Amino acid sequence: MGTPAAVRVWERSLLQHRRVWRTSLLGSFLQPLLYLLGMGLGVGALVDGTTGSPELLGGVSYFAFIAPALLAASAMLVGSQDSLWALLDGFLWGNQYRAMTATPLRPTQVAAGLSLWHATRALLTVVGVAVVLTLFADTRTWGLLLAVPAGVLTGLAFALPITAWTATREGDISFPAIMRFAIIPMFLFAGVFFPIEQLPSALQPVAMLTPLWHGVELCRASVLGTLGAADAAVHVGALLVYVVGGWLLCRWAFTRRLAS
Amino acid sequence: MASAPLISARGLVKRFGGFTAVDGIDVEVHPGESFGFLGPNGAGKSSTMRMIGCVSPPTEGELSIFGLDPVRDGREIRSRLGVVPQQDQLDVELTVEENLVIYGRYFDIPRAECRRRAAELLDFVQLTERARSKVDPLSGGMKRRVTIARSLINEPSLLLLDEPTTGLDPQARHVLWDRLYRLKQRGVTLVLTTHYMDEAEQLCDRLVVMDQGRIVAEGSPRSLIAEYSTREVLELRYSPGTNEARAVPIADVGERQEVLPDRVLIYAHDGEAALHEVHERDAMPESSLVRRSSLEDVFLRLTGRTLVD
Amino acid sequence: MITGLASSALDLRRPHRMVERSVMVYRRGWMVIVSGFFEPLFFLLSIRIGFGALIGDIEVGGRTIGYAEFVAPALMAAAAMNGAIFDSTMNVFYKVKYSKLYDSVLATPMTTADVALGEIAWAMLRGLMYSVAFLLTMWALGMTGSAWVVLAVPVCVLIGFAFASIGMAVTSFMRSWSDFEYVPAVQVPLFLFSATFFPLSQYGSWGWVVQLSPLYHGVALVRGANLGEWSWTYLGHVAVLVGLAVVGLTITARRLRALLLS
């Protein structure tokens, strides 16, 4: 019976995105490459030259430690940015979402279409980083294929709950605080640049609750080939809690906002 | 008028690259006068206003405001001007009152004096109770009134208004006209652009009609109507697409005829008599209207086009 | 360029009014500024917790210092750059294209030079507050090396001045928001490769490329202040930053005139 409703919403986001694809492609390849060169190789040389560090990192080079984590971190950054200002624009200034529900589209279908778009963006981002990782011998493994869906799941674990939050907002006042007090601290402390075992012991459980930590662990273990079934189940399960919970909140928030 | 003109322009030209927006106009505005630039969008009204406001240097010709040169003495001239631009350009990050205060500070007016004047001006534009509100939630008419209050913070003797009521609803327009009329009574010289005939008739002592960068007529609203139109106008509507054909047999009714896409206009001293004549000739319209002549008719006569944008 | 600068300097009388406006705006938004103080705390803590254990002492210029002491001044300089770039690009673009703020300001006796310098001055003032907060955080976390480190504050203001001027000049050529996606493409490499996270010696024969980065010169100055060291080469670093600021400011004043007073 024709194209599903959510896919039609998704197509619109795609059309909108096509105008800026070149610069965003630049971002998704160049940024991780630069971070890999700067942090992975540059700082890596200092870390690897320090006695005792390899033990702290689980026996791998610093490059091999942070490179896979960038898959999850990039997905987080893109997923959260997309679901803050750009999304609020559709509710507030551009008002496209209300325009959509003036057609036979239901609010839930709009939410589904946007979620599908978030997944697409996460996929493009993660594949970009993965391609960069194949340039380096340390990370050129079949495990990358497993890390890609893990990265997408991480992206959604941020995009969906934040989308639900944005859908209830009338302004962007809270957005800088979300970046500053949630996203940036996770980026710095949730296991991307150093193992969370180095955090004060009281903070370790907090880090373990963040979706980023689960995403990072999943991607890292996939690429390094150390992923066990039990760990995988725990991490995927934790991410799914965020994704499914976020989706339910999205459905509720979109219906409340657009069905009036 | 014995007094020296506030604004004097001779052969004023503004070009943007190859495009000529203002094509050699001569204008004089005297103190206490209310002067209008009338014309469709793109006639060169706003470009002229920007030159007078000293934010756009003339390409050619002479221009003096308060007897000063806008290029050399721009700062001095601007300190004595009030400007109401086409778009409000209010500071959306500030409240209504703060908008007025900081604007006064740009003129180096002491802070306490700014606050005193702001309170007075907000009272004048009837927005005292919105003083602490942000600008964004205000209606279009309110924003316009804030902009006018803001333009008066330096107690200017010359107020430039670029399309003051475009986009406002009828009530908001009348409130605004009333306030501008009061300013005029206080002796403030008003210079405004408009593409509304009724606005020009309401507010202007004297006006120029502009078209494609040139002045095509000048005078008071009444003298322009007397010169370029008749006392009354008869409007006839026929079924769509038949105007041209139906106009032929009644071509000599009244003094002059104008065939527009949507109606046929007959200019006559006595509109009812002209309508009677039309009926006599069996050229029965679907509807008809006799009205007094307006500036719209003057414009139509001068340019052969209606004032639509 | 000299005449351009001279004529715009002549036209400069009340740039502080633009600062006054920003103060008015941020009186209500003080939370934004206060919460900005957490940023240095997070960054410095992650360096301390993360790299404190992973990286031992390193050798710079014949001296051996802890890694945190090496990175913290560089992060301070980089933060001054990032803040100035944000204030002078997106913020200014919004005011030129959307809120039309400058159009209404220029209808008053204010001039384009007042606007350009006033906005840059505000960006620097914010940078000053931020740098002081950064320094206090560094000191509280025991990452300062000498009392001379207070000189890092004026250095950071200079860094902010240079990048805000350049940022505004670049912004004056931007046509739409999507043009801003190229800004990180310049900013991120500057952040990562200005001898910020690892010493110049590590770049080997590519060291000269690093010296092309304006941030490198800022980092060298802040690092020197933290260590309490003096070298004549610092004059060169200062000259680079001052030169950038002057070039940026001149272009900006001219472009604003072309954009707003046509």
Chain B CB contacts of C30 under 8 Å are none
Q: Are residues B161 and B241 in the same domain?
A: no
Q: What is the pLDDT of residue A23?
A: 65
Q: Reply yes or no on whether the pLDDT at A64 is more than 60.
A: yes
* C99 with B89: Cβ contact below 8 A: yes
Confidence at C4, pLDDT banded by 50, 70, 90:
very low
How many residues in chain B?
309
Q: What is the pLDDT of residue C9?
A: 45
Chain C CB contacts of A37 under 8 Å are 192-193
Quote the mean pLDDT of chain C: 87
CA angle C52, C57, C62 (to 5 degrees): 150
Flag whether B24 is in a domain: yes
Q: Are residues B94 and B138 in the same domain?
A: yes
Positive or negative, the CA dihedral B269, B275, B280, B284 is: positive
Flag whether B303 is in a domain: no
Domain that holds residue C43: 2-261
Domain that holds residue B285: 230-293
Q: Reply yes or no on whether the pLDDT at C6 is more than 60.
A: no
Confidence at C44, pLDDT banded by 50, 70, 90:
very high
Share of chain C above pLDDT 90, in %: 41
Q: Are residues B187 and B263 in the same domain?
A: no
Structural domains of chain C, count: 1
Number of other residues whose CB lies within 10 A of the CB of residue C5: 16
Q: Are residues B204 and B286 in the same domain?
A: no
Share of chain A above pLDDT 70, in %: 95
CB B6 within 8 A of CB B30: yes
Chain C CB contacts of A53 under 8 Å are 53-55
Q: What is the CATH number of the domain that holds B247?
A: 3.30.70
Q: What is the pLDDT of residue B52?
A: 96
Q: What is the CATH number of the domain that holds B99?
A: 3.40.50.300
Q: Are residues B164 and B287 in the same domain?
A: no
Residue B163's Cβ-count burial label (10 Å; 0-12, 13-18, 19+) is buried
Touch test B–A: 3 Cβ pairs or more under 8 Å: no
**C11 to chain B: closest CA residue:** B75
Q: Which among A255, C37, A226, A93 has a CA at the least distance from the CA of B92?
A: A93
Chain B CB contacts of C13 under 8 Å are 75
**Which residue positions in chain B have pLDDT lower than 50?**
1, 309
What's the distance, Cα to Cα, between the start and end of chain C in Å?
20
Q: At what angle do helices B96-106 and B140-151 cross, to 10 degrees?
A: 30
* A24 with C181: Cβ contact below 8 A: yes
Flag whether B2 is in a domain: no
In this complex, which of C24, C260, C262 lies closest to B16 when CB atoms are compared?
C262
What's the distance, Cα to Cα, between the start and end of chain A in Å?
28
User: Contacts by B165-171 with C-beta closer than 8 Å and gap 24+?
Assistant: B165/B194, B165/B196, B165/B199, B166/B86, B166/B194, B166/B195, B166/B196, B167/B140, B168/B140, B168/B141, B168/B144, B169/B140, B169/B141, B171/B141
CB B26 within 8 A of CB B13: no
3-state SS, residue C211: coil
Touch test C–A: 3 Cβ pairs or more under 8 Å: yes
Digit-coded pLDDT (tens) for A226-258: 999 999 999 999 999 999 999 999 999 999 988
Would strands B287-292 and B232-237 be described as parallel, antiparallel, or unpaired? Answer: antiparallel
* A62 with C54: Cβ contact below 8 A: yes
Chain C CB contacts of A24 under 8 Å are 181
Q: Are residues B166 and B25 in the same domain?
A: yes
Q: What is the pLDDT of residue A260?
A: 66
Q: Give the CA radius of gyration of chain A.
A: 19
Encode A2-28: b = buried (16+ Cβ within 10 Å), e = exposed.
eeebbebbbebbeeeeeeeeebbeebb
Q: Taking the C-alpha atoms of B120, B126, B131 and B135 in order, what is their torsion angle to the nearest 10 degrees?
A: -130
Name the domain boundary from B193, B219, B245. Answer: B219
- Calculate how close chain C gets to A214, using CA atoms only, in Å: 19
3-state SS, residue B270: coil
3-state SS, residue A100: helix
In this complex, which of B16, B98, B107 lies closest to C109 when CB atoms are compared?
B107
Q: Reply yes or no on whether the pLDDT at A54 is more than 60.
A: yes
Q: Are residues B84 and B123 in the same domain?
A: yes
- Calculate how close chain C gets to B220, using CA atoms only, in Å: 29
The Cα–Cα gap between C188 and A29 comes to 13
In this complex, which of B90, B93, B107 lies closest to C25 when CB atoms are compared?
B93
Query: Quick check: C101 contacting B, CB < 8 Å?
Result: yes
Number of other residues whose CB lies within 10 A of the CB of residue B305: 11
Q: Are residues B266 and B175 in the same domain?
A: no
Which of C20, C101, C104, C111 is best to mutate for the B interface (most B CBs within 10 A)?
C104
- Calculate how close chain C gets to B248, using CA atoms only, in Å: 49
Taking only residues 12 to 41 of chain C, the set having a beta carbon closer than 8 angstroms to any beta carbon of chain B reads 13-14, 17, 20-21, 24-25
Q: What is the pLDDT of residue C7?
A: 47
Quote the mean pLDDT of chain A: 89
| Complex confidence, ipTM | 0.86
Kindly list the partner chains of chain C, i.e. chains with 3 or more CB atom pairs below 8 Å: A, B
Chain C CB contacts of A27 under 8 Å are 181, 184-185
Chain C CB contacts of B106 under 8 Å are 14, 17, 105, 108-110
Kindly list the partner chains of chain B, i.e. chains with 3 or more CB atom pairs below 8 Å: C
Q: Reply yes or no on whether the pLDDT at C107 is more than 90.
A: yes
CA angle C117, C121, C126 (to 5 degrees): 155
Chain B CB contacts of C20 under 8 Å are 102, 105
Confidence at A94, pLDDT banded by 50, 70, 90:
low
* C181 with A23: Cβ contact below 8 A: yes
Flag whether B225 is in a domain: no
Supply C211's token pair. Answer: 């010296």
Q: By a Cβ cutoff of 8 Å, what residues of chain B touch chain C?
A: 16, 53, 55-57, 75-76, 78-79, 81, 83, 85, 87, 89-94, 98, 101-103, 105-108, 154
The Cα–Cα gap between A7 and A11 comes to 6
Q: What is the pLDDT of residue B1?
A: 46
Helix or strand (DSSP H, E) at B190: strand B189-194
* C178 with A188: Cβ contact below 8 A: no
The Cα–Cα gap between B50 and A112 comes to 50
3-state SS, residue B288: strand
In this complex, which of C21, C103, C260 lies closest to B102 when CB atoms are compared?
C21
Structural domains of chain B, count: 2
Flag whether B141 is in a domain: yes
Q: Are residues B197 and B257 in the same domain?
A: no
Confidence at C5, pLDDT banded by 50, 70, 90:
very low
* B53 with C104: Cβ contact below 8 A: no
Q: Are residues B95 and B214 in the same domain?
A: yes
The Cα–Cα gap between A49 and C47 comes to 17
- Calculate how close chain C gets to B115, using CA atoms only, in Å: 14
Q: Are residues B17 and B43 in the same domain?
A: yes
Kindly list the partner chains of chain A, i.e. chains with 3 or more CB atom pairs below 8 Å: C
CB C197 within 8 A of CB C117: no
Flag whether B304 is in a domain: no
Q: What is the pLDDT of residue B293?
A: 83
Enumerate the H helices of chain A as residue ranges. 5-18, 21-35, 44-48, 53-56, 62-82, 85-91, 96-101, 107-133, 143-167, 175-178, 184-189, 204-209, 211-224, 229-258
Which of C54, C181, C186, C209 is best to mutate for the A interface (most A CBs within 10 A)?
C54
Chain C CB contacts of B81 under 8 Å are 107
Q: Reply yes or no on whether the pLDDT at C23 is more than 80.
A: yes
Digit-coded pLDDT (tens) for A103-156: 778 888 889 999 999 999 999 999 999 999 999 998 999 999 999 999 999 999
